[in-house]
Every structure is written in C-alpha cells, then in structure tokens.
Amino acid sequence: MTAIKQQHPIGVGLVERQYVTWTEPLPLDGGAALAPVTLAYETYGTLNEARDNAILVLHAISGDAHLAGWHSSTDRRPGWWDAMVGPGRAFDTNRYFVICSNVIGGCQGSTGPSSIDPATLVAGQEARCYGPRFPIITIGDMVRAQIRLIDHLGITELLAVAGGSMGGFQALEWATAYPSRVRGAILLATSARSSPQTIAWNSIGRRAIMSDPRWRGGDYYGHEAPSDGLGVARMVGHVTYVSEVTLEAKFGRTFQSRDAPHFTLLPEFEVESYLDYQAATFNARFDANTYLYLTKAMDYWDLAARYGSLDAALSQSRARFLLLSYSSDWLYPTSESLLIADALRQFKRPVEHVEIASTAGHDAFLIDHELKRPIVTAFLESLMAG
Amino acid sequence: MTAIKQQHPIGVGLVERQYVTWTEPLPLDGGAALAPVTLAYETYGTLNEARDNAILVLHAISGDAHLAGWHSSTDRRPGWWDAMVGPGRAFDTNRYFVICSNVIGGCQGSTGPSSIDPATLVAGQEARCYGPRFPIITIGDMVRAQIRLIDHLGITELLAVAGGSMGGFQALEWATAYPSRVRGAILLATSARSSPQTIAWNSIGRRAIMSDPRWRGGDYYGHEAPSDGLGVARMVGHVTYVSEVTLEAKFGRTFQSRDAPHFTLLPEFEVESYLDYQAATFNARFDANTYLYLTKAMDYWDLAARYGSLDAALSQSRARFLLLSYSSDWLYPTSESLLIADALRQFKRPVEHVEIASTAGHDAFLIDHELKRPIVTAFLESLMAG
C-alpha cells in the first residue's frame, strides 16, 4: 500500500469491495420480487458524526462499485473515476464519505443474472444461475436496492448523488422518488429518458448477443460465453460513446500496417483493431446477460411517464441540481440536459447547467476532468455550507 | 403495362433488366483481375443522334440497376429512384437517356461473390460460387467496369453522372479519373472519403456477419444464409441512415403493444420491431458477402490519397458539379460536401452546392424529392444548353 500511495500520492490507496445481503424480497417495478439481494459496494473517506457528508456515486452501464483506488498493488488501473475521488480531489475524501455500489442486474458482485437462482437450491439438484429467468429490472429497482444500502450505512440524507449516463438516470430517480433523502444531484451527460435512437442502439446490441448461438437462450454459464455477440454490442456502444473528432484525431484513416492496404476482408484500419480490442477487453470483464438486463433498464427509463410529464416529475424534487453536458456528446446531447434544467427552473428549483467544451463525445464525463473538477468542487462545498 | 401506366401515368412503365458480359479480364486496384465480368443494367429514354444526352446514375450500397419503373405488374414497388426518373421528371426520359447498372461485387445481376467462380468450372467438379475467393474491389474498379458499359452503349461522353452516398463516390471517381467522359456530376449526401466513423460502422456490420456461424467462412451458398449477422449489420446501417428527429416522429417511445411494457428481454418498442422488419426485408433481397465486399470498397474510398490531396484530385476534373447535402444527415454531413466544393472552387471549377433542409437524415437523398427536383432539373438543362 505504501508503494501504491507513493505512486499515486493523493489517491485513496488500497480499497476493498464490501458486500451486504438482504433476505427480505426487493419488490420490482415489473411485478416480481428479488430475494436474496446482495449489493457489492465500496466506500472512501469517513462518515462524519452528523452523518451529513455522504455522497452516493452511481455508475454507468459498464461501470461497477470500484470507483476509486486500487484493489491490489498489481492492478493495472485504479477505479473508474479515480481522478475525481480522493484526498484533495473533487469528491474530497478528507471531507466527504463517498459510496459506490454495483447496480442490481450487474456482474461485479451485486445480484444479477449470473447469480445463483435460489429457486434451484433444492437438495439433489444442481444449483443454476438465473440466466434468462432473472427478472427484468428498472432504474427504479436499482435505486430501491441502493436505499437499503444507505439505510444499512445509517445515512438518512445524502449530501449528494452523482452519476453520468445510466448513473445520471439513477441520480434523477433518487432526486424525484426520494426527495427527502437527497440534498444535491450531480448529473453528467444524461437524460430524463431513453430516446428511440438510444433504444435502437441497445436493441441492436441485444440482438447481436441473443443471436449468438453460444448465448444458448441465456443459459451459457458453465459453457463458452457469447463473446461474438457481446463483442458486436460493445463495438456499437463504443462508437456511440466517442465523437467523430476523437476517431479522426486518434485513428484517421491510418492502416494497421502503417503503409498500404492489403485488400482483404479482414480489418485494415487502426480504428477497426481498436474496436476489436474494445470488444475483447469488454468480454474479459463483463457478462452478456447483464448487458441485456442493463440495456433493458435503460430502455424503460422515462421519468416523465410515471408522473405524466417531466415538469410533474421534477417538481417532486427538493435537491439542488448541477447538470454537466458535453458539447461533442451526440448520444446524450446538451439538449437533453436543457430539458431537465428548464423543467426545474419552472418550479424555481436551484439548478446550474454547464455545457463543457470537449471533443471526447459521451465518454467525456469519464475522462475529461480538468473543466468539471472545479465546478463539482464548488457545488459540493456550497451544499456542505447548506 | 397499360394498367401500370394508368396507375403511374408519368413513370417509365415496364422495364427490363439487361446484361452485358466481357470475357476480357477487368484489372482491379487490388492487383487481381476479374473475368468474365457481367454488368446488369437498365436504360430509360432514348439516346439521341448526337449521343450527348446520356446520364449514368450510380447506386448506393443497397441499391441496384432497377432505378425506375416496374419489372412486372405484380411488383409492390417501382425502382429505387422512380420519383426522379421518367417523362417530365427531373431525369426527364423525354430528353435524356438514363442508365443504371448494378456495381461489380453486387448481388443483383452483376458479377459478385455469389457468382460462379470460373476457376471451379472444371470437368467432373461441382461449380462453386466465389464466396470469400471473390477479389476485393474498390470504387475505382466499379467505375472501370462502368466505362466498359458506356463504351458498349456507344457513348463517348456522358452528359452527367449522378449518385448519392456510395453512388456519389462513383460519381466523383468518374469526374476525376475520366474527366474527358463526364460533362456534369451530381453528388448527393456523399463524401470524398470514408471517415473513421463510417469505417467503424462498416466494420461492425462485417464482424456481425463473419461471426455468424452460418457465414461458414463465406461459403454458405446452398446452405442457410447468415441472416442474423446480415440483420444486425443492416440494423446498424439503418440507424445511421435516419435522423433522431425521424425516429422520434415515427416511433417515439411507443410500445409495440400500444399500452404498457411487458417487462421482457424481447423487443418492447415500435422502433425495435421496425428495425427487425428492416433486417428481415434486407435479408430477403441481399447477399451477405456482397455486404462485406461493398462496405470494404467504401472503406478504401479516399479520393485524396491517390492524388496526394483533395485539391490535386479534384483539379483533374473538367465537369460542372452539383452538390446536394442534407441538414440532418449525420453520416455524410454537409461539411463533407463543403470540402469538395471548396477544393473545386480553388481551381475555378464550376460548382453549385445546396444544403437542403430535411429531417430525414442520410436517407433524404432517396426519399425527399420536392426540393431537389427543380435543382436537378435546372442543372441538367444548363448542361444540355452547354
């Protein structure tokens, strides 16, 4: 740990994944219930005596509870938002108690389709994973499980919830469904609903997975995984996360062989091997069924539908909002943030919206830190000040 | 035919696909040669005595030689640009002799991967389709074959070449590689090169096809076709062809069941069943290997590379240019047309560029006719006037 701390002097250092399990069924929006429910989570910093310095960070589709720090000295990378979390960082662990949990439906420690289906825990039978028998979950269900975690940690009111993309969906759900439990909401590169275009991309990814023969109707555990299907799904997703400017700057039309074309059906361009690499690394860490369930949860996301309108939905909230959108994000463009900000302003809810100039596309919220750091820092300080 | 003519009073009526075959090998940019070479084509109108009224229309990836009219009275639809071609239409068959041929590599009558490989025409052996042994072809190769067709038809100089998307690539190739043979070039929704983003989409489609076990390394003829892979490829393509505004207006977040979600892994939204339908109809008429070869040809397209710069490339041309781009086309945005127009203007080449306001995305060039009709009509008339 010392070595790591020296290498990353202001980070949170070594961290451990924790777990909490409830046997009481978790009711789901689709009508089913889930039991038992386990959430994997990590925490950074210390909960103060007043218990008013807790921040819950919500992850996007490919994220997990490992927000910051290192699990071991041999890790090649720290948690997914490490640059934002630690002593002196925007989510300053000297001041705040920062929590991040893997969503239900996930594949990084929380109950999901790759978890053992308790219905198969019968004497004389082989226990089986849920697979396609896992119930459909929604953003509301994810947050309902997180409420249990916050209760478990003894926190009545969160100083803030924060999340980008699908994490932003959850932050919006927190602020509107549980207004008394959230003082501030930080939404990055997100939207109050999935557009038909985002549903289309998700649907293509699902079709790629479900038509991979190795998907086996969802019961592939113990066999080869449907890596071709998940690979294609990830490639589609990845292109939607980056901007054309980024692809142009990083790869342009450079051939893999750095000289001339080989005139072959195989990949020729660097941008193609880059996507192949994205597919391979995603397959190494992600479960295809989780991809199906989380994209479904995203598709169902439509905050306005439950309340009749976006105005009605956001009028529920009592939180102060910080919205960050990115100029080159074409998946969740600034116009989506403006819809949320405008609705909040109608009800005189305090809201700050900043469009950050970036060429990094949707991924900007995960990688472009310089401009958002001072904005998030100031917003959290103002929340703490009351 | 009478009945059809009454139903479509100003169209070209019944038309027949024609074929021409050359035994002389066609040299290809990749170093191989193709023999024999067959082009399927259709013509509309009459070549005048001066032979100066011929227009060659070039099709996009999913198009074919059937530009206009009807093959039989039971056809559900006319040719792909019927609204633009016929007596009194923009490509006025009372005045012009209009030609359209299926590209080599295609699957609608021209020599392509589903054609019999002549190397297998050996006594005692079963003749086989080319499949993956078909040589890689380029936009230049497509045009080289079209030159033979135009020679065959006894035409020295075309009044115009016209094409959208991949058809625009071919039109640019005509105007720069064969400047003495083209008086005018009409480019719609196109570009002088494939960007890394379009290569990425193409690469994803190819990977979906080639990882479908029914692709069988490309030798699936006589077996089930890789319809899952081609379906995914088409769905990806289709989303890139339409705008978010179109998806929003056509489908929004409407559920298929028109009421509530069913909470299932299966498609729930109308936009999903629409994409499934696109996949199914494309599979019914298109060959997966042709999709591989034509997307490859598009990837290799980079007009500047051959001449050192776009300026140098376009300085070759002697044609008058009409460029049409569409405001909601995010696949081949207006900026791509501006690059071409600016380069042409540097060399004082006559060029007219019009950005047409449309919400239809890239597909606008195939479906939005009202605004482009008078522009194309006037451009052709000015070409005829000299």
A1 has pLDDT over 60: no
Distance from CA of B183 to the nearest CA of A (A): 31
CA-to-CA dists, residue A169 to A165, A175, A221, A385, B262, angstroms? 7, 10, 30, 26, 21
Task: Flag whether residue A236 sits within 8 Å of chain B, measured between CB atoms.
Answer: yes
pLDDT above 60 (res A187) = yes
- Give A-chain residues touching B203 at CB under 8 angstroms: 235, 267, 269, 271-272, 275
- Predicted pLDDT of residue B318: 96
pLDDT digit string, tens, across residues A193-225? 999 999 999 999 999 999 999 999 999 999 999
From B110, B115, B165, B317, active-site residue = B165
Q: Look at A74-78, B43-47, B190-194, B331-335 and tell me which has the smallest mean pLDDT.
A: A74-78
The arithmetic mean of pLDDT across residues A258-270, rounded, is: 90
Alpha-carbon distance A200 to nearest alpha carbon in chain B (angstroms): 6
Catalytic residue status for B194: no
| Residues forming a β-bridge with A100 | A42, A57
A168 — pLDDT class (breaks 50, 70, 90): very high
Contact: A196, B29; criterion CB under 8 Å = no
Q: Which of residues 248-287 of B touch A (CB under 8 A)?
A: 248, 250-253, 261, 263-265, 267-269, 271-272, 275-276, 279
Chain B nearest CA to A274, separation (Å): 10
**Rg of chain B's alpha carbons, rounded to an integer?**
21
pLDDT for residue B6? 46
Chains A & B: contacts with CB separation below 8 Å? 153
**Residue range B172-185, pLDDT digits in tens:** 999 999 999 999 99
**Whether residue B4 has pLDDT greater than 60:** no
Q: Is the pLDDT of residue A10 over 90?
A: no
The pLDDT value recorded for residue B260 is: 82
Q: Has B92 been annotated as catalytic?
A: no
Percent of the residues in chain A that have a pLDDT greater than 70, as a whole number: 97
What pLDDT does A6 receive? Answer: 46
Distance from CA of A41 to the nearest CA of B (A): 27
Report pLDDT for A386: 83
| Residue-range domains of chain A with CATH | 2-194+302-384 (3.40.50.1820), 195-300 (1.10.1740.110)
Confidence at residue A4, expressed as pLDDT on a 0 to 100 scale: 47
Interface contact B271-A244, CB threshold 8 A: no
Quote the percentage of chain B above a pLDDT of 90.
94
Residue A302 has pLDDT above 60, yes or no: yes
Nearest to A331 by CA among A233, A237, A204, A229: A237
pLDDT digits (tens, 9 = 90+) for A79-129: 999 999 999 999 999 999 999 999 999 999 999 999 999 999 998 989 999
The 10s digit of each residue's pLDDT in B33-77 is 999 999 999 999 999 999 999 999 999 999 999 999 999 989 999
Which residues of chain B lie closer than 8 angstroms to A196, CB-CB? 244, 247-248, 250-253, 269, 271
pLDDT digits (tens, 9 = 90+) for B293-314: 999 999 999 999 999 999 999 9
* pLDDT score, position A9: 54
- Nearest chain B Cα distance for residue A331, angstroms: 10
CB contact under 8 A, A199 and B253: yes
Q: What is the ipTM of this complex?
A: 0.95
Of B64, B299, B329, B368, the catalytic one is: B329
CB interface of A with B, residues 35-94, below 8 Å: none
Residues of A in contact with B132 (CB under 8 A): 265
Residue B198 pLDDT grade (very low, low, confident, very high; cuts 50, 70, 90): very high
For residue B91, pLDDT over 50 is answered with yes
Q: Nearest Cβ partner of A275 from B200, B244, B300?
A: B200
Instruction: Give the per-residue pLDDT at A109.
Output: 98
- Indicate the pLDDT class of residue A257, thresholds 50, 70 and 90: confident
Q: Which residues contact B338 (CB under 8 A, 6 or more apart)?
A: B325, B353
Q: 3-class DSSP state for residue B381?
A: helix
b or e along A239-270 (b: 16 or more beta carbons within 10 Å of the residue's beta carbon)? bbbbbbebbeeebebeebeeeebebebebbbb
Asked if B208 is an interface residue toward chain A (Cβ–Cβ < 8 A), one would say yes
Query: Hey, are the CB atoms on B253 and A212 less than 8 Å from each other?
Result: no
Strand partners, A162: A57, A186
Q: Quote the percentage of chain A above a pLDDT of 90.
A: 94
Helix (H) or strand (E) holding B373: helix B372-384
CB of A78 closer than 8 Å to CB of A8: yes
Residue B5, pLDDT score:
45
Look-up of token digits 């557009």: A195
The stretch A129-156 carries a mean pLDDT of 98
